Amino acid sequence: MTAKLTIGLTGGIGSGKSAVAQLLAAWGASVLDADVIAHALTAPGGAAIAPIGEAFGAAMITAGGGLDRSRMRAAVFADPDLRHRLEAILHPRIGQVLQERATQAQGAYLVLVVPLLVEGLGRWRSAVDRIAVVDCAEELQIERVMRRSNLDASQVRAIMATQATRDARRAAADDLIDNGADLAALQARTHELHAQYLQIARHI
């Protein structure tokens, strides 16, 4: 994707990916987030809106012209085939935007925040130099998501069931970031990896 050192950052919902990405960006990394790009693609006028409307019908598009996220979320959780159809529309477009922006990245190294990186490991393994996984106990994930998103435990578990298992993410990790303690511990571990990435980047 780029000659610059590229880190694939991932983790389950509620694991703390965003907190780690914000720290790395503050310390000088270029951070590109697949979720942010997906939101832009599905906002009014976004490049994915027309194909989503064709594939799923006008009912999935709001009066304002954007994706009806709650309706789509309910549909794809109920039917894996619909989820795969949505991913077939979004994932290539997300990948294209990531590639375009990666070539313009100015930071010391590049971080791609990809929530479903492990689920698409065959594609991402060759696109990144290292995979960093933010990890915590599943009960802690559930507690954090319930607190921030006003979902109940069963809804969070349903989301988690569509993602790779914790064991699969840990097995794919080159670098593991434990986010089971407090913010200070997360900052310390993330800074340790940042220093390591700077060292590697200097020799590329």
Q: pLDDT tens digits for 17-27?
A: 999 999 999 99
Work out the mean pLDDT of the chain and round it to a whole number.
93
Mean pLDDT of 141-169: 91
Give dist(CA 40, CA 103) in Å, integer: 19
Domain ranges in the chain are 1-29+107-204, 35-106
pLDDT confidence tier of residue 73, bands split at 50, 70 and 90: confident
pLDDT confidence tier of residue 123, bands split at 50, 70 and 90: confident
Give dist(CA 131, CA 133) in Å, integer: 6
Mean pLDDT of 69-79: 88
CATH code for the domain defined by 1-29+107-204: 3.40.50.300
Determine the pLDDT at residue 3: 66
Mean pLDDT of 3-20: 93
Output the DSSP codes for 74-132: HHHHH-HHHHHHHHHHHHHHHHHHHHHHHTT--SSSEEEE-TTTTTTHHHHTTT-SEEE
- Cβ of 11: how many Cβ atoms within 10 Å? 28
Determine the pLDDT at residue 134: 98
Per-residue pLDDT tens for 28-43? Answer: 999 999 999 999 999 9
Give dist(CA 129, CA 65) in Å, integer: 38
Determine the pLDDT at residue 1: 59
Residue 71 pLDDT greater than 80, yes or no: yes
Mean pLDDT of 139-156: 92
